[in-house]
Structure 1
Amino acid sequence: MRMNPHFPGRFPNGLPMGLVALLAWIQAARADEDLLIADFESESYAPWIATGEAFGPGPASGTLPNQMPVSGYAGTRLVNSYRNGDGTTGTLTSPEFTIERDFITFLIGGGGHANATCMHLIVRGQVVRTATGPNTRAGGSEALEPSAWDVRELRGQKAVLRIVDEATGGWGHINVDQIAQTDHKPNVAVRQPRERPFTVGAPYLVLPIQNGARGVELALRIDDRPVRQYTVELAPDAEHVDWHAFLAIDAFRGKSAVLAVDAATEAGFALIRESDAVPGASSFYTEPLRPQFHFSQRVGWNNDPNGMVYVDGEWHLFFQHNPVGWRWGNMTWGHAVSEDLVHWRELPDALFPRTMAKGDCFSGGAVVDRLNTAGWKQGEHDTLVAFLTDTGAGESIAYSTDRGRSFTWFEGNPVVRHAGRDPKVIWYAYRANDSPLDESARRLGGHWVMAVYDEDPRFGRAIAFHTSTDLKTWREQSRLVDYFECPEIFELPIEGEQGATRWVVFAADARYAVGQFDGKTFLPEHEGKHRVHHGAYYASQTFSDAPDGRRIQVGWAQIEMPGMPFNQTFGFPHALTLHRTSHGLRMRARPIAEIERLVRGVHTLEGAALDERPASLRVTGELFDVRASFELGKARTVGLEFGGNRVVYDASKRQLDGADLEPIDGRVTLRVLIDRPMLEIGGNGGTVVVTRKRERSGAFPKINAFAEGGGATLLSLEVRRLASIWEP
């Protein structure tokens, strides 16, 4: 501003320079002051507008009934949506205001569910900033923490704030207080949307993970098309990195990419980078709790095995995978292959949530379409067809014409719409007395069957059976009630009875029924259900299209791996057989014969009386296949002890590690697979199998066979030392 030449010492508006300077100083001082948006110290929210029930009539005076103690708020009141617990929902919206400072600061706590327990900053009808509390799992804290948004790019624009509670489960509420505008850069990590364009030039996009950190919505776009979208517990800086997740991006090499997050710190976002290697990869498969002869994924969480199928010389194990988190979430289909069912090679993830599927990629099975009934075959390889639940649509299909290395999402998805999940598809080949579904089925010699969990409220939990001749169009045929998720159906020969077979069905809890199946309806031959598997074993599946006719089962081993970059694992493959017993037809599960490939030494002990002192067999190592046979006599218990771990058969209760097991002619046999973090304990030839955590890991020098109560005899003890499947 130039001076007025006609009035020296005065500005053009005629004010003396001293007064102008004073006014400018006052204006600058006021500009430096913080502007309070809301402190919620009144009994009413006015002029804010509340909807729903979650926020009640006005700010809460601290902790609400049945809530953990709330702390960290300013003054005596705050926004607390825990009204009547986590089951209520609603919104709380501010009047419009002008963004006049560089930062908006606030206190926030409660649930950490993106877009469901959060506070949005909305400009021109669009959410431009968002924040959540820190909690998503049991435990946690109701403490509010300081947070802030950098809004310099939005300065001068009109905005509203909306506090949202749309969650009804655990941590389904939000706490907010003391919202202000300031020009002073807050001494907190500013979380806000960030974006970075790049050209893909490396095989991996590496993500720094802090377990339990606030969820960040991360999206990767290739040529403006979303290809990956995950909720990530992104570390805010290098000091808080627990492990590194990675996305395989080599298939996009040379293409234009954009990485975007909705609320990350500057330092945390900078740590996301392309790389030729995954940090920590040199330690993969050597970690203290890494299973050495059970498959486990390199990083992240696993649960159900999926899509288990044999095709073109490879056994395929797909699985429920959170590739960017240590806990459940972001359900993706992981993928591993093996040529011998023992040594596994992990491939890039196969099916993706929110970009390929509309929602998450939940469980399902896979088949080989050898007759090309769907018409998708290209080239020499038969089509591998995966069935899964798209949580945003229904039962869906993805198919591969290149041995499972890439998948195409079927444009006609979903193929079944209903309340349910977890489709398992099999081929039903006609017998002489079967009636074909139609002329197409008659020409094919059979039809496809989908067994899928269904929870239609008219029938309750059930397995619904659907049929098809082309894998695309399905018709419901029947229901089998009182079964939960992850159904399975297959036919087994009865051991020792030439040509005799029965069908078996089970669900995630491993309780099974034996009966007849005509391709449409399953009819159990007994009341109730039977059981082989016990303990930390869930959602098992069997391989389709096994070349030797075996029925091979793998389950999710629910064993936590604290301090590791991976969490959970899988059971060792077991072969299922069906036997006629005095109680009727019963299944048995034994480790597959291929375990012999891992044997590196055998130690034996025979004919030892067990009194007050155990019989000991010296060994060296930590990985073993142990087989023991006991004559019970009058002993109360018998069992094995190794490295501080005990496996006990209670003769008085007739239970092996809590699972019912009758002795046979006064004897019991045990088979124990000992891996670093886990045990699989079989009794009487696989009549029962118990999966559980190994209480103490590490190598040990001996195995003791013991008896309590006297009179027992160790008939035989054979200890096979095993090699790691990860050894080169």
Structure 2
Amino acid sequence: MKKLNIFILCITFCVSSCLKVKVAENDVLIADFEGDDYGEWEITGEAFGSRPAHGTLPYQNEVVGFLGNGLVNTFNNGDITQGILTSPLFEIQRPYINFLIGGGNHPSQTCINLLIDGEVVRTATGSNVEDLMWHTWNVTSFMNKKSRIQIVDKHSGGWGHINIDQIYQSSVDESGNRMICEPIYHFKPESGQRIGDPHPFYHKGSYHLFYQPGWCHAKSTNLIHWEYLPRAMEVSRALGEEHLFSGCVTLDGFSNPMIFYTSIGQGKTEKEYAWIWAARGDASLIKWNKLNNNPILDEEQHSVKIWDWRDPFVFKHNDHIFMVAGGHLTPAPEFGRATVELYRAENDSLTNWKYLGILFEDQNTASGNIECPFLFQDNGYWALGISTFRGVEYITGSLETNSGVFIPKYRGWIEASRKHFYAPSITMDDKGRCLMWGWIQGLKDWKGCLTIPRVLRISGNGQLIQKPAPELQRLRCKHYTKSNIQLTDSKQILKGIKGDSFEIIAEFKDVNAKYFGLNLLCSNDGERSVAIRCDDKELNVNGLKIALNKLNIDQIYKLHVFLDKSVLEVFVNDGRACITRVVGYGKDDLGVELFVESGDVTIKTLNVWKMKSI
């Protein structure tokens, strides 16, 4: 194996678990969908295709959490297709049926059913996420009866698909071994609310987080402790408004606070027609009044038709104020030719705007559509952030606002996970820092949260650098440290370190092994964990891989990971790549373990801090 001089691993975590599952010897497999076709299962309709899918399908958000290579994924040709997949008869021989499920939340329309004598006796549906999670049916009362599994897709609207994998009978309730726990030091919405796209804004010594749905609001003076404030705006149905979606907060030419946002009119759909509306705020950013002359931008100002036009972001350059918004050129309901449009303010009150044209058109057809674009300048480059069907990416290059031209140089992922992380946005503070938050989508009954605040920079070669804001170090408390730990083909549980709120920093050196790394949230029997697994070519975080040889670093590899109960954020090599994951774990799965396989490694230093709640 290639010898690495040093590998530095920094992990901040608050307990999570691994999706690695072993089917016990006495379990009965119904289907794992690893074959070239569906075997004896009966197919009707077009949604299932002729064989299992191998992961994410075109124009679909990233599908994660399935086992092996194959799964049922009915996003064939999008949500419009429908169908039913029915298993052969089988006998119920165990008290539980476990399976992985994701996709749309449409009971009886996107679902999996257990049929006995043709009647539905158990059913389950997705949670409007592409992450497959364990679900269990207690079938004790049906022991020894003949039954079938029926997978249904009868919905053609949004989230009109279902994902299923690894159906088996067992004496163990698999879903009972996994739980999704709310984080304790990530920003969360008020109790009972969901959270969506963030719209951060720094103003007069305070950090403000506006966020969807519906422009909720909170503020902080230290990036750690947050005060919930009244919602900034409500839908103005008396003015013909039906929805208010994402946008940004900025200052006009007179330093007055303004919100620009996507407004959908009554009787309109966001795919076909949208407006850009604006509101003015007071100095406290609490009271907002929508402008009398809304909309300030409509689609009539474009020289071409922009579909799914949305998410304005305002920035300043060369004494002018500009706006970008996202969309695509391929007519709905299809997607393609994803674009970012550019506009220039023609007055200081920001009520008159001129359309300058298409700033950027994505040549990757799989991107489909662009949402939540943002721009900032650093180190001689402009960085354009975009959220697409492929995930969240950045493009660095040069910007010519006079001609409305963006010339790309370097393209990469803002987030390698692409699923749990979406729709980030930025603000500049009084320290000259560009701060970014992203949306971490919730699972099951959990409503989601925002990422920790990240400081963005652009390297000399145009690569985006993301680092956790140093203010988070104030959350460190109990400290554990050790150095020069030598391992050869072995594992070592860190004694005395258990719990679900930690920061871990580890340095690996003299690596001469096939794999090495950390297992987090280890179960007492060693069967479950969240693995951070490394070699000299790639990093694997709980099943998601990053090619390390693309990071342009010769000898030193660094990770900085925040694991906050079910939320895991990993920063690679001083923030040159990042991964965000949401994971489930057992209530007693609290161990931390070092490991090495097929060789040896030295852990130069190990530091662990317990983390405080906010």
Please indicate the TM-score interval, normalised by the length of the shorter structure.
Answer: 0.5 to 0.7
Selected match of 1:389 from 262, 270, 280:
262
Q: Deviations over 1:10-29 (max 9, x none)?
A: xxxxxxxxxxxxxxxxxxxx
Aligned to 2:383: 504
Structure-2 separation of matches of 1:336 and 1:66: 48
Cα distance change, pair 537–547 in 1 and its aligned pair in 2 (3 A): farther
Aligned to 2:500: 622
Cα distance change, pair 610–362 in 1 and its aligned pair in 2 (3 A): same
Is 1:476–2:348 an aligned residue pair? no
Cα distance change, pair 559–631 in 1 and its aligned pair in 2 (3 A): farther
Is 1:718–2:607 an aligned residue pair? yes
Aligned partner of residue 230 in structure 2, secondary structure: strand
**Structure 1 segment 206-225 matched on structure 2, within 5 A:** none
Aligned partner of residue 560 in structure 2, secondary structure: strand
Aligned to 1:339: 221
Structure-2 separation of matches of 1:488 and 1:171: 23
Selected match of 2:111 from 129, 139, 145:
139
Is 1:318–2:210 an aligned residue pair? yes
Q: Deviations over 1:186-226 (max 9, x none)?
A: xxxxxxxxxxxxxxxxxxxxxxxxxxxxxxxxxxxxxxxxx
Q: Does the 8 A contact of 2:326 with 2:370 survive in 1? A: yes
Aligned partner of residue 557 in structure 2, secondary structure: strand
Q: Deviations over 1:693-716 (max 9, x none)?
A: 233265766522211121222122
Is 1:428–2:316 an aligned residue pair? yes
Shift of 1:652: 5.7
Aligned to 1:438: none
Selected match of 2:290 from 409, 414, 420:
409
Aligned partner of residue 589 in structure 1, secondary structure: strand
Aligned partner of residue 596 in structure 1, secondary structure: helix
| TM-score with structure 2 setting the length | 0.62
Selected match of 2:198 from 278, 284, 306:
306
Aligned to 2:559: 670
Aligned partner of residue 197 in structure 2, secondary structure: strand
Name the aligned partner's letter for residue 139 of structure 1. Answer: C
Structure-1 separation of matches of 2:482 and 2:509: 15
Structure-2 separation of matches of 1:361 and 1:587: 31
Is 1:654–2:538 an aligned residue pair? yes
Is 1:491–2:376 an aligned residue pair? yes
Shift of 1:674: 1.6
Aligned to 2:58: none
**Structure 1 segment 575-586 matched on structure 2, within 5 A:** 575-580=455-460, 584-586=461-463
Q: Deviations over 1:632-658 (max 9, x none)?
A: 623222211122233323316423421
Cα distance change, pair 602–700 in 1 and its aligned pair in 2 (3 A): farther
Selected match of 1:638 from 513, 516, 523:
516
Shift of 1:408: 1.0
Cα distance change, pair 339–460 in 1 and its aligned pair in 2 (3 A): same
Aligned to 1:691: 580
Selected match of 2:182 from 278, 290, 293:
290
Shift of 1:547: 1.1
Larger relative contact order (C-alpha < 8 A, sep ≥ 6)?
2
Structure-2 separation of matches of 1:348 and 1:391: 22
Q: Deviations over 1:598-618 (max 9, x none)?
A: 111222222212213334433
Selected match of 1:538 from 413, 421, 424:
421
Structure-2 separation of matches of 1:395 and 1:300: 29
Aligned partner of residue 635 in structure 1, secondary structure: strand
Q: Does the 8 A contact of 1:463 with 1:481 survive in 2? A: yes
Name the aligned partner's letter for residue 453 of structure 2. Answer: P
Aligned partner of residue 594 in structure 1, secondary structure: helix
Shift of 1:586: 0.8
Cα distance change, pair 318–633 in 1 and its aligned pair in 2 (3 A): same
Structure-1 separation of matches of 2:45 and 2:219: 49
Shift of 1:525: 4.0
**Structure 1 segment 553-632 matched on structure 2, within 5 A:** 553-560=436-443, 562=444, 564=445, 566-580=446-460, 584-617=461-494, 618-631=496-509
Larger Rg: 1
Aligned to 1:707: 596
Structure-2 separation of matches of 1:722 and 1:313: 26
Selected match of 1:169 from 148, 152, 157:
157
Cα distance change, pair 472–651 in 1 and its aligned pair in 2 (3 A): same
Shift of 1:394: 1.0
Q: Does the 8 A contact of 1:632 with 1:667 survive in 2? A: no
Q: Does the 8 A contact of 1:635 with 1:707 survive in 2? A: yes
Selected match of 1:360 from 240, 243, 267:
243
Name the aligned partner's letter for residue 233 of structure 2. Answer: L
Aligned partner of residue 341 in structure 1, secondary structure: coil
Structure-2 separation of matches of 1:696 and 1:704: 16
Aligned partner of residue 110 in structure 2, secondary structure: coil
Name the aligned partner's letter for residue 504 of structure 1. Answer: A
Aligned partner of residue 507 in structure 1, secondary structure: strand
**Structure 1 segment 181-220 matched on structure 2, within 5 A:** none
Q: Does the 8 A contact of 1:426 with 1:544 survive in 2? A: no
Cα distance change, pair 626–688 in 1 and its aligned pair in 2 (3 A): same
Cα distance change, pair 302–505 in 1 and its aligned pair in 2 (3 A): farther
Aligned to 1:239: none
| TM-score with structure 1 setting the length | 0.53
Shift of 1:548: 0.9
Aligned to 1:11: none
Cα distance change, pair 304–654 in 1 and its aligned pair in 2 (3 A): same
Name the aligned partner's letter for residue 646 of structure 1. Answer: V
Shift of 1:537: 4.1
Structure-2 separation of matches of 1:408 and 1:298: 24
Structure-2 separation of matches of 1:136 and 1:568: 25
Q: Deviations over 1:294-346 (max 9, x none)?
A: 0111244545433310112221111112xxxxxxxxxx222221111111222
Question: What is the aligned-residue RMSD (CA, Å)?
Answer: 3.7
Q: Does the 8 A contact of 1:394 with 1:414 survive in 2? A: yes
Q: Deviations over 1:88-112 (max 9, x none)?
A: 9xxxxxxxxxxxxxxxxxxxxxxxx
Name the aligned partner's letter for residue 244 of structure 2. Answer: C
Structure-2 separation of matches of 1:699 and 1:575: 34
**Structure 1 segment 63-212 matched on structure 2, within 5 A:** 66=45, 135=107, 138-139=110-111, 169=157
Aligned partner of residue 682 in structure 1, secondary structure: strand
Shift of 1:357: 7.0
Cα distance change, pair 627–524 in 1 and its aligned pair in 2 (3 A): farther
Aligned to 1:348: 230
Give % identity: 21
Runs of 5+ consecutive residues of structure 2 not aligned to the other structure = 1-42, 48-77, 82-105, 121-154, 161-178, 266-273, 300-306, 523-528
Aligned to 1:454: 327
Structure-1 separation of matches of 2:205 and 2:44: 61
Q: Deviations over 1:220-256 (max 9, x none)?
A: xxxxxxxxxxxxxxxxxxxxxxxxxxxxxxxxxxxxx
